[in-house]
Chains A and B, each alone.
Chain A
């Protein structure tokens, strides 16, 4: 009889609870003296993955730097919902300049701190996927190439959600956005090569590159903390579901993020100096349908005129990720087929 390793899973969530951890392993958010870098009262939507990700990431960065932190923010949801004049949610020094220049502005902040001998103060630059993989990409690459002492965090919700859900370079194939509508023979976003910025960041040989999702906030915190142990350019790419843009239920944000990882659609890993050093294994592989069906942006792949061909294409992408990063554990539960026969035939 084979032995199964004991795991502290909460029912249905796979997340290990704080109460099962020792004090020093507990999340920063369980600390009543945490920084609250982005305070309550902001205007993010219910279930916003970005607000959640930013809160955990920045409070972890604050702890890692002994509260000596400056944040630079690209234009986008996070900037708009956090600082409607005359209010601000930020309890840390925070600068917003433009949509496409957050990495360069952070370079300037880091340079000023260096020249002033303030090596204790660290810099985080952050933006959404539009500000990172598209309009800010030149500045991001420049910051990487110069190895400026900046941790750049991309909160990836796979589209221009602040302007009303338009396609970005991070929008997955087949997804409905306002500029990739579900009309014509190839509904939704076209299939292309995609722009895999974590891998592009690795190609710059920067000290640290990692991906994370808001489904595993301990992992996100640990990666921020790890990132802060390095000097030079670092990149963290966090998948943050957007209930508005994805058409997912507000209370499903964590679930959707987890399925992105468990299907292989979003590989979670970390890399140092261009080499992958660890991957978060898929614990129970799920078919991409399970992930897609929770989101209205993929609704056109199911329903009356289902497109199993497109779903299969998306599954191929997930499979390629699984293979590339070795995401399946040896003893992982095999893929469960939940697709009904009626949906599969079309």
Chain B
């Protein structure tokens, strides 16, 4: 049923259709609307047989999910940014224990400076945790991916993180086709745990593992993720068969078949990129897009197949490894070993900086002419940067950079300087 609905609400409604048994919630922008909506559904009884637990921190949220999942309950939570970092120890632990928890990550920047707006730094911070990480391009896909996520998680006994761009998706109201309960029930069988705390059959879970076996245990986790590379497209196909909708999968190409330049990105920015690519295509430039839905496991082979024919790959990402460069770009470069593809890293949209069609149009115009540097920051205000660099050179006690930059912007743009 097509409804005009906020992204968070669509995710919450879809999570409810998945019949979670324990939902733990700790509020952080921009995730709040999701857990609020689930909370209402539990409290009014629309989502029955579900415990909604208001915890005291994200660390507790993931810990409660761990306990619930290990006791055989379908467990769900949602977080973002600082919250993900605060629960990071438990995030690794859930994966290490092989507990199929599903979590929505409303992608948001990480402070300091504190910033509530969207980028992918949070997801990148836990990319090595053993969680499957899938990125939604639209609100429709954000909703659909949750159904697939529960099935994937429980089939493999691996936790799955559905990454949904904060505000851009979570707070955007648009048409979303919410699934029928009967379709979800048919698609997602009840959770049958691989391991469970049961007095009738007592097991110890979470034993200490020394050097004699740790590497094997880790390798098994890797094997499960490799298995996911097969299961993710298969589940997406099943989903298509059940709903008639293409959601999920590993990678998705757009006008990339004959492209000489291919832009690679994840999440909601793909929509803007496609629009900008259409403009360049109309101008006769051979440019296309490949969106990566599954970031972990990283579908190296699928990425290779989708990109290897191009001469130049522009990886546009909303995160970067400070002191190094692109995170996704590094993975893409690894997947393209042995090819002659030239990689261009573009860091964009940090802390919610809008990625406009205008900026992308300029970027792609230069890209197709081979004029991009190997690493660039889209729409970087170099004047502001240089002024702060000068201040730091001029005096030892130059003060906090973030505040200096803000004051500088206020002064130069006449918008009321911070004093």
| Chain A residues at the B interface, C-beta cutoff of 8 Å | 67-70, 72-73, 79-80, 83-86, 88, 90-98, 100-101, 104-116, 121, 138-139, 141-142, 145-146
Once bound together, how far apart are the Cα atoms of A139 and B65, in whole Å?
Answer: 13
Q: Of residues A85, A106, A116, which shows the largest number of chain B Cβ atoms within 10 Å of its Cβ?
A: A85
- Add 15 more A-B contacts to A93-B197, A105-B70, A141-B56 (CB < 8 A): A70-B197, A80-B208, A83-B206, A83-B208, A85-B207, A90-B202, A92-B199, A94-B203, A94-B204, A97-B97, A107-B53, A108-B64, A108-B68, A115-B50, A139-B60
From known contacts A108-B24, A111-B53, A111-B68, infer whether A101 and B202 are also in contact, taking CB-CB under 8 Å.
no
Asked if B59 is at the interface (CB within 8 A of a chain A CB), the reply is yes
- Name the residue on B nearest A67 (C-beta): B199
Residues of B within 8 A of A67 (CB): 199
Asked if B63 is at the interface (CB within 8 A of a chain A CB), the reply is yes
Tell me the minimal C-beta distance from A131 to chain B in angstroms. 12
- Name the residue on A nearest B202 (C-beta): A93
B73 contacts A115, C-beta separation under 8 Å: yes
Please pick, from B22, B50, B59, B202, the residue contacting A138 in the complex, using a CB distance under 8 A. Answer: B59
A139 contacts B63, C-beta separation under 8 Å: yes
B59 contacts A104, C-beta separation under 8 Å: yes
Asked if B325 is at the interface (CB within 8 A of a chain A CB), the reply is no
Residues of A within 8 A of B55 (CB): 104, 107, 142, 146
Tell me the minimal C-beta distance from A246 to chain B in angstroms. 24
Residues of A within 8 A of B71 (CB): 70, 108-109, 112-113, 116
Asked if B205 is at the interface (CB within 8 A of a chain A CB), the reply is yes
**17 examples of A-B residue contacts, CB within 8 angstroms:** A79-B206, A83-B207, A90-B202, A90-B204, A94-B203, A94-B206, A97-B206, A106-B67, A107-B55, A108-B64, A109-B67, A109-B68, A110-B67, A112-B68, A115-B22, A116-B72, A139-B63
Once bound together, how far apart are the Cα atoms of A143 and B94, in whole Å?
Answer: 20
Once bound together, how far apart are the Cα atoms of A96 and B204, in whole Å?
Answer: 8
Tell me the minimal C-beta distance from B97 to chain A in angstroms. 7
Residues of A within 8 A of B97 (CB): 97
From known contacts A104-B63, A139-B60, infer whether A116 and B73 are also in contact, taking CB-CB under 8 Å.
yes
Residues of A within 8 A of B289 (CB): none
Residues of B within 8 A of A138 (CB): 56-57, 59-60
From known contacts A93-B199, A98-B63, A111-B64, infer whether A146 and B54 are also in contact, taking CB-CB under 8 Å.
yes
Once bound together, how far apart are the Cα atoms of A138 and B59, in whole Å?
Answer: 9
Once bound together, how far apart are the Cα atoms of A108 and B76, in whole Å?
Answer: 11
| Chain B residues at the A interface, C-beta cutoff of 8 Å | 21-22, 24, 49-51, 53-57, 59-60, 63-73, 75, 89-90, 93, 97, 197-199, 201-210, 212-213
Residues of A within 8 A of B207 (CB): 83-86, 88, 96
B73 contacts A95, C-beta separation under 8 Å: no
Tell me the minimal C-beta distance from A102 to chain B in angstroms. 8
- Name the residue on B nearest A102 (C-beta): B63
A88 contacts B59, C-beta separation under 8 Å: no
Q: How many A-B residue pairs have CB under 8 A?
A: 160
B56 contacts A108, C-beta separation under 8 Å: no
- Name the residue on A nearest B206 (C-beta): A96
Residues of A within 8 A of B59 (CB): 100-101, 104, 138-139
Once bound together, how far apart are the Cα atoms of A199 and B56, in whole Å?
Answer: 20
- Name the residue on A nearest B217 (C-beta): A85
Residues of A within 8 A of B56 (CB): 138-139, 141-142, 145
Tell me the minimal C-beta distance from B118 to chain A in angstroms. 28
Residues of B within 8 A of A79 (CB): 206, 208
Once bound together, how far apart are the Cα atoms of A211 and B57, in whole Å?
Answer: 28
A93 contacts B67, C-beta separation under 8 Å: no
- Name the residue on B nearest A110 (C-beta): B67
Q: Of residues A73, A80, A105, A145, which shows the largest number of chain B Cβ atoms within 10 Å of its Cβ?
A: A105
A85 contacts B208, C-beta separation under 8 Å: yes
B63 contacts A91, C-beta separation under 8 Å: no
Residues of B within 8 A of A85 (CB): 207-210, 212-213
Residues of B within 8 A of A86 (CB): 207, 213
Tell me the minimal C-beta distance from B24 to chain A in angstroms. 7
Residues of B within 8 A of A109 (CB): 67-68, 70-71, 197
- Name the residue on B nearest A37 (C-beta): B202
A108 contacts B202, C-beta separation under 8 Å: no
Tell me the minimal C-beta distance from B252 to chain A in angstroms. 36
From known contacts A85-B213, A96-B207, A111-B68, infer whether A101 and B60 are also in contact, taking CB-CB under 8 Å.
yes
Please pick, from B21, B75, B90, the residue contacting A101 in the complex, using a CB distance under 8 A. Answer: B90
Once bound together, how far apart are the Cα atoms of A100 and B90, in whole Å?
Answer: 10
Residues of A within 8 A of B51 (CB): 111-112, 114-115
A98 contacts B89, C-beta separation under 8 Å: yes
B202 contacts A92, C-beta separation under 8 Å: yes
Please pick, from A91, A95, A100, the residue contacting B197 in the complex, using a CB distance under 8 A. Answer: A95
Residues of A within 8 A of B202 (CB): 90-94
- Name the residue on B nearest A106 (C-beta): B67
Once bound together, how far apart are the Cα atoms of A67 and B56, in whole Å?
Answer: 31
Tell me the minimal C-beta distance from A146 to chain B in angstroms. 7
Tell me the minimal C-beta distance from A29 to chain B in angstroms. 20
B60 contacts A142, C-beta separation under 8 Å: yes
Once bound together, how far apart are the Cα atoms of A85 and B206, in whole Å?
Answer: 10
Residues of B within 8 A of A98 (CB): 63, 89-90, 93
Please pick, from B54, B64, B72, B204, the residue contacting A105 in the complex, using a CB distance under 8 A. Answer: B64
- Name the residue on A nearest B52 (C-beta): A111
Tell me the minimal C-beta distance from B377 to chain A in angstroms. 37
Residues of A within 8 A of B65 (CB): 108
Tell me the minimal C-beta distance from B366 to chain A in angstroms. 48
Please pick, from A68, A92, A108, A116, the residue contacting B67 in the complex, using a CB distance under 8 A. Answer: A108
A72 contacts B67, C-beta separation under 8 Å: yes
Q: Of residues A85, A98, A104, A141, which shows the largest number of chain B Cβ atoms within 10 Å of its Cβ?
A: A104
B63 contacts A97, C-beta separation under 8 Å: yes
Residues of B within 8 A of A88 (CB): 204, 207
Residues of B within 8 A of A121 (CB): 199
Once bound together, how far apart are the Cα atoms of A83 and B213, in whole Å?
Answer: 14
Tell me the minimal C-beta distance from A79 to chain B in angstroms. 7
B66 contacts A112, C-beta separation under 8 Å: no
Once bound together, how far apart are the Cα atoms of A114 and B207, in whole Å?
Answer: 26
Considering the complex of A and B, which 10 residue pairs feature the smallest CB-CB distances, nearest first? A108-B67, A142-B56, A96-B206, A112-B71, A104-B63, A112-B73, A101-B63, A105-B67, A108-B68, A108-B64
B21 contacts A96, C-beta separation under 8 Å: no
A108 contacts B199, C-beta separation under 8 Å: no
